[in-house]
Structure 1
Amino acid sequence: MLLGCASALAGLLYLAVAGAVLGPCLLWPRTRPRAGAALSAGARRIAAVDRRRRTALFDDRFPLHHTPQDAQVVRYVAQRAYSGTVTAVTLALLAFGVVLAGVFAAAVVTGRVGAVELLWQFLLGGALLFLGVQGLRSLYALDARLARDTFGPSERELLRRRIDELATSRAAVVHAVDAERRRIERDLHDGLQQRLVALAMLLGRARRPGRTPEQADALLRQAHEESLAVLTELREVAWRVYPSALDGLGLREALGGVAERSPVPLRLSYAVPHTLPGPVETAAYFVVSEAVTNAAKHAAATTVTVELSVRAGVLGVSVRDDGSGGADPAGTGLSGLRGRVEALDGRLRVDSPAGGPTTVTAELPCA
C-alpha cells in the first residue's frame, strides 16, 4: 500500500502538471484529440506501473486481451491519486499514533500517568486504531475495485464466477433430471398403463364362456390393434428417454427419426462435417426433440425448420416454427433443456413473441 501511495502521488503530480500544460489545448476542439492522446499516454505508463504492482504484490492476474480505453485510464489515475493520498494520510496518522503510544507507554512506566488518564487514553487510542485499520481495509478494497474495473476481472474473480456458474448448472441438471423422471412416470402411468389395462380387459372378455367365434375374433382383433398401439407408445417413451440411434447411427439419423415421427412437416438442414462428442450429440438431439414437440403440441405450427452447423468449434442448433409463439423460457421443458445445455458450457436462447414465430437456438462447444 505504501508503493501504491507513491504511484498515486506520482499520478497526482502528473495530472497537475499535464493539466496545466495541456489544459488550453484540451479546451480547443482542433487540438483536443492530440492533447487527449498525450495526456492518456502518460496516464497509461502510470497505470501500467500500478498494474505490475497489483500483479507482483497482490497476486492479481488480469486478462491480457483487455485493453482499457483512454478515458478509463485517465479516470483510474485520477481516482488513484485521490485514494492514494487519503491512504498516505491515514498511514501517517497511524504512524503518529504509534509514536504517541510509545511516549505514553514511557510515561506509564515512569509513573507520571494516573489510572483514570490511562483508562481514557486507552479507550481513545483503541477507537482511533479501530477507525484507522477499518479505513485502511476500505481503501484496500477500493484500490482492488478500481484495478478490476480498469484492467478487467482478475483470474481469482474469473475462477469465482466459474465456480458460481458450475454450481448453478449442477443444480439445473439435478432439477432437469427430476423433471424428466416425473415426466417418464406420467407417460408410463397415464399412457402405457391405461392401454395395458384396456388390452387385459379385451383379452378377458374374449376368454369369457359363451362367446361366439365371431365375437371372440372381433375382441382378439381389437386386442391385437391395442397391443400394436402399446408397442408404438412404448417405443416413443423409450426414444424420449434416450434415442438408441445415437449410439449406432449418429445424430443425423436420430434427427431423421424425429422428423419421421413429427406430426408437423419438418425440414432438416445438417451441415456438420465430422463426428461430435457423445454428450454434445445427446444435448442437440433433446433440444430438437423438445422444441419440435412443443411446436406441435402448444404452438399449432404447420412447419418446423431445424438447422445444425459447426462454426469455430461450436455446434449451433436452431429450431424455428411458424406457430403462435408465446413460449415460456422458464417452463419445465425449456428449463430442463437450458440446464442440459449449460452443463456443457453452452447457451440456450428462446425467442417467442406473441403471435410467433418461435426460434430456439442452442450453442454447444464441441471441444
Structure 2
Amino acid sequence: MRTTGRALGYLASGVPAGVVGLVWTLAATLVVGLLAVTHLGGPAFLGAAWVTRRLATLERRRAGWVLDRPITSPYVPVTADTVGRRVAAVAGQPATWRDVAWLVVLFPIGLAGGVAGTVIAAVDLGAVTAPAWAWAVPNPHAPFPMKPLLTTTPGRFGLTLIGLALLPLAVWLLRTLARAQTAAARALLAPGLHAQLVQEAARLAQTRARVVDAQAAELRRIERDLHDGAQARIVAAGMTLALAARKLRTGGAAGPDVELARRQLDEALAELRRLVRGIHPPILTDRGLHAALAALAADSPLAVEVRGDRQARYPAAVESAAYFVVAEGLANAAKHADAATCVVDLTRTDAAIVVTLTDDGRGGADPSGAGLDGLRRRVEALDGTLTITSPPGGPTVLRAEFPCAS
C-alpha cells in the first residue's frame, strides 16, 4: 500500500503544483518580455530561468515518489563570464524550454490527475467506511439502489463489501494514473539528447585524462624497475666480467668471477621476465584469459577456483585488463583480507564480458584505494565499470564488466 499512497500523494499534489507552475510561467513570461527591451532583460531572464529550474527540480523529486528515484538533472554547467554569454548558454539548452513546457502542461495534467485520483480514493474509502458515517447523513429521497445501501445497516455493510471488492481496481487506477503522469514528466524533464551527448563527452574526456595519467605512471614504473632491477644487475655483470678479463691478462683465476657474472645475468633475465609479465603476460597471447587466470590461481597462496569457458577468447585489451583485475584482487585478498579461498567467475553475456572475484576474507576494502583506483582506470579505459562490494566481515566481491564491443 506504500506504493499506492505515494501514487495518490503524487496525483493530489499535482493540483497545487500545476497552479504554481502556470502562475509562475505566465508571470515570468510577462516580466521578462517587458524587460527584454531594457538592460535588465538579461538578468531578468537568468533569474526567471533559475526559479524555473528550481521548480522543475522539485517536479523531478516529486516524480521520484512514483519512480522510486528522482529524474536525473538534464542541465549542462554554464561557465560564461558575462551576462550576455550566460543568457545565450542558458537559452541554448533544450532543458530550459522543456522545463517551461512542463510547467505549462502540468496544470491540465495535474488538475485532471489530481481530481480523478482524489475522487477514486474518496469513493472507495467512503464505501469501505460506510457503516461509520452513512447513518449521519440519511437521505430518504436517494434513488435505488443507493437508498437501501445508505439508509439500512445491511446496506451499509454491503457498501463495505463492495468497496473492498473494488479496492484492487482503485489501486490499479491510481497507480496507472500516476505512472502516466510521471511518464509525461520524464519525457520533458529527463536529460535529452543534448545533455546526454555533453555528459558523455565530459565522461570520455575525464576517462581519457585518467588513462593518460595511468599510462604515464605505468611508464615511470617500468623505467624505475628497469633502472633499479635488470639494468643494475647487467651493469654489475659487466663489471664482474671486466674484472675477470683483467685477472686473465695477469694470469689470475677468473673462474669465480665468471660464475658470479653468470648468476647476475640469470637474475637480470628473471627480472626482465617478471617485468614483461607485468606489462602483458605472454600466456594471454598464447593460451587465452582462462589459462592465464588458472596460472595466477596456481601461484596464489589462496585456494582459488576459476570458472568459465576454457576455450573462449576475448579482445586482447579486455583479456589484459581482466587479468590485472584478478591479479590485483588475489594479491589484496591474500595480503589484506586474510582470505583462505577465492572464486573467479568469467562469464560472457550478449552485452558484456564480466569478471567476478569473490573471497571469504574479512572485507572492509577501500574502493578509493590506490590499487583499486588503478584497476578502475584500466577498466574505464575500455568503457567498462568496476564495482567493489566489501562490507566489514566480508565477503569482498570485485566485479569488472566490459562491453562486448570493447
Is the 1:80–1:143 contact (alpha carbons within 8 Å) kept by the matching residues of 2?
no
Q: 1:217 to 1:86 in 2, by over 3 A?
A: same
Alignment deviations for residues 199-257 of structure 1 (CA, whole Å, 9 cap, x no partner) = 22432343342799996334333333332222222111011112233333221233234
Please point out which of 69, 80, 85 is paired with 2:18. 80
- 1-side partners of 2:251 and 2:360: how far apart? 52
Residue identity matched to 1:236? R
Q: Does 2:222 match 1:184?
A: yes
Partner of 1:227 in structure 2? Answer: 265
Q: Over aligned residue pairs, what C-alpha RMSD do you find?
A: 4.0
Q: Indicate the larger mover: 294-303 or 173-182.
A: 294-303
User: Which residue in the other structure is 2:53 paired with?
Assistant: 141
Q: Which amino acid aligns with 1:83?
A: G
1:153 counterpart residue number:
191
Where 1:188 maps in the other structure, the secondary structure is helix
Runs of 5+ consecutive residues of structure 2 not aligned to the other structure: 61-70, 72-184
TM-score, reference length from structure 1: 0.60
Pairing 1:29-178 to 2, within 5 Å after superposition: 71-72=9-10, 74-76=12-14, 78-91=16-29, 126=38, 133-134=45-46, 136-138=48-50, 140-142=52-54, 145=57, 149=71, 150-151=185-186, 152-178=190-216
CA shift for structure 1 position 281: 1.6
Cα 1:133–1:172 shift into 2, 3 Å: closer
Alignment length (residue pairs): 275
Deviations 1:248-282 (A, max 9, x none): 3221233234345x352452423147432232222
More displaced stretch, 310-319 vs 339-348: 310-319
How far apart, in 2, do the equivalents of 1:182 and 1:316 lie? Answer: 30
The Cα of 1:82 is off from its aligned counterpart by 0.4
Choose which of 373, 378, 383 in structure 2 pairs with 1:335: 373
CA contact (8 A) 1:287 1:337 kept: yes
Pairing partner for 2:308 from 271, 285, 288: 271
- Return the alpha-carbon distance in structure 1 between the equivalents of residues 59 and 317 of structure 2: 39
Report the more deviating stretch, 179-188 or 201-210: 201-210
Shift of 1:184: 0.9
1:293-312 alignment, distance < 5 Å? 293-295=331-333, 304-312=342-350
* Amino acid paired to 1:289: A
* Aligned amino acid, residue 141 of structure 1: R
* C-alpha distance in 1 between matches for 2:382 and 2:246: 57
Counterpart Cα distance in 1 of 2:380 and 2:254: 56
Unmatched runs of 5 consecutive residues or more in structure 1: 1-28, 41-68, 99-124
**Identical columns (%):** 39
Contact 2:304 2:344 in 1 (8 A): yes
Structure 1 residues 329 and 128, CA, compared in 2 at 3 Å: closer, same or farther? closer
Mapped contact 1:192–1:234 kept (Cα < 8 A): yes
Question: Does 2:254 match 1:316?
Answer: no
- Measure, in 2, the Cα distance between the counterparts of 1:134 and 1:265: 61
> Partner residue of 2:324?
286
CA contact (8 A) 1:302 1:322 kept: yes
Q: CA offsets per residue over residues 271-323 of structure 1, 9 Å max, x none?
A: 14743223222211121223334455666766554322224532222334566
**Do the aligned partners of 1:264 and 1:304 also contact (CA within 8 Å) in 2?**
no
C-alpha separation between the residues in 2 aligned to 1:216 and 1:86? 96
Question: Would you say the 8 A contact 1:280–1:366 is kept in 2?
Answer: no
